Structures are given as C-alpha cells and as structure tokens.
C-alpha cells in the first residue's frame, strides 16, 4: 500500500505535532519512539520524516513555537498603563492562563531542554530570558516608584516564575478549584510577595487597601 485515501499533508502534520506534545509530555522525549508516535497518528514511522527531518527537529519545532506563542501572548496582553501593579497583575494573569491552557507543551519546553543541540538550546533560552526580563523590568520599575518592596529583583523574578509555572504540576481543570480561583490566589500571593501597595482596583477590590507591607 502507499498513499491512503483522504490523506492530507497539512492535517497529518498537525496531528503529528499534537500527538508529539502529548506523548513527550507523558513519556519524555527520549522514551518516546518514532514508531510509537506514528502509531498514535495512525501512520507508519517513515511518514513522519516527510514533515520533520529528524526527531530532534520535531522537538525543537514544538519548543520554538511554544516560546513564540508565550512571547506573543504577553505582547497581546501587555497593558498600556505604566503602573507596575497593573503590569504585574497582567503578567501573572497571562502567565497562569497561558500555562494552564498549554500544560503539555509547557512540560515539554521545560523538561526536554537537554535533548537539544547546543545551538538550539541557546536559541530557546534566549526567548525564555527575554520573557523573564519583562518581569524583572516590571519589578525594578515598581521598586523605583515605591510600589514594590523587593530585596533582589532578579531572585524575586525567578521565584515568582517558578511559583507560577508550578501550577501545571498540581492543577487539574475541573477539580476542586476553578481557573479563575487559582488565578486570583496566585495574583494575591504575588502581590503580597512583592510587598505591593494597592494603587488601583486591579486585583480583587475586596482586599484591605492602602497599607504597605511588612517583612
């Protein structure tokens, strides 16, 4: 047999990407075989090589597009306001929403970096660093205008990102907490962590407002 009825390159490629993200997230990149992936798509292993020249190319493509999506999402969500509190709130909300929505892809991008060639690893890390720099800038601006009280902006940015991204480890949609509840909690924790002074009603306006934060 050869070409199958109804076969379509675009659809097959999309199916490969989707199955690959799911399989790599579940089994790990090294543990997933090309034959396994092909079986999931309903195709022979050789067919995969029409779309991705090597297994590593497939991984890299998934990661690059994930990171591009993250940067693009933040670009779209970035508020016009200069207020660091508003900007930080937008960053947190975007980060949580994006990562919950793409749990599997995030897992792949975070866990499989070591399977990339040096050059490609650098490329992915560059995007990641750019994304993290956005948060550091917000924190630094906040400290400058007295909206935040932070020891070390670099360390705090890393701590916040680890905390927020960690949501994909334990959160399961449809369980005890809704996405909105989780987001609200992380927002509140973030604002306390950076010692935010409430300036607008960005978070839940029910909180006690106006006072600064102690150690």
Partner DNA sequence: GAATTAATTGAACGTTCGTTTTATTAGTAC
Partner DNA sequence: GTACTAATAAAACGAACGTTCAATTAATTC
The single residue among 169, 172, 200, 201 that binds a second copy, judged by CB under 8 A, is 169
Number of Cβ atoms within 10 Å of the Cβ of 78: 13
Closer Cβ to a second copy, 118 or 208, answer by number: 208
Going along 11-157, which residue ranges are E strands? none
Over the window 12 to 51, marking each residue x when it contacts a second copy by CB under 8 A and - when it does not, the resulting string is --------------xxx-xx--------------------
Site string for a second copy, 52-91 (x = CB under 8 A): ----------------------------------------
- Crossing angle of helices 55-77 and 118-144, in 10° steps, is 20
Record the tokens describing residue 54, joined without a space. 């090597």
188 binds a second copy (CB under 8 A): yes
Site for DNA in 50-109 (CB under 7 A): 50, 53-56
Q: How far is the CB of 189 from a second copy (least distance, A)?
A: 5
* Whole-number Å distance between alpha carbons of 137 and 51: 39
Among the candidate windows 6-14, 41-49, 56-64, 163-171, which touches a second copy by CB under 8 A?
A: 163-171
CA–CA distance, 80 with 18 (Å, rounded to integer): 34
Closest CA to 148 of 93, 198, 80: 198
Structure tokens at 164: 């927020």
- HSE, side-chain direction, 13 A CA sphere, residue 180: 1
The answer to the question of residue 116 lying near DNA (CB under 7 A) is no
Binding-site ranges for DNA (CB under 7 A): 1-10, 12, 32-36, 38, 42-47, 49-50, 53-56
């Amino acid at each position: 047999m050869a070409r199958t009825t109804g076969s379509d390159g675009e659809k097959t490629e999309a199916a490969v990407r989707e199955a690959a993200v799911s399989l790599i997230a579940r089994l790990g990149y090294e543990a997933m075989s090309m034959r396994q992936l092909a079986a999931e798509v309903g195709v022979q292993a050789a067919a995969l090589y029409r779309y991705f020249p090597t297994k590593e190319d497939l991984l890299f493509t998934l990661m690059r597009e994930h990171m591009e999506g993250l940067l693009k999402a933040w670009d779209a969500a970035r508020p016009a306001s200069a207020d660091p509190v508003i900007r930080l709130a937008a960053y947190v909300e975007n980060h949580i929403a994006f990562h919950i929505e793409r749990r599997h892809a995030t897992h792949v991008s975070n866990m499989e970096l070591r399977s990339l060639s040096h050059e490609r690893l650098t490329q992915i890390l560059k995007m990641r660093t750019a994304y993290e720099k956005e948060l550091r800038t917000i924190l630094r601006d906040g400290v400058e205008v007295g909206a935040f009280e932070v020891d070390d902006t670099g360390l705090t940015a890393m701590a916040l990102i680890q905390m927020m991204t960690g949501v994909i480890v334990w959160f399961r949609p449809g369980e005890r907490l809704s996405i909105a509840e989780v987001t609200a909690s992380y927002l509140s924790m973030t604002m306390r962590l950076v010692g935010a002074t409430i300036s607008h009603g960005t978070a839940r306006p029910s909180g006690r407002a106006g006072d600064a934060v102690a150690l």
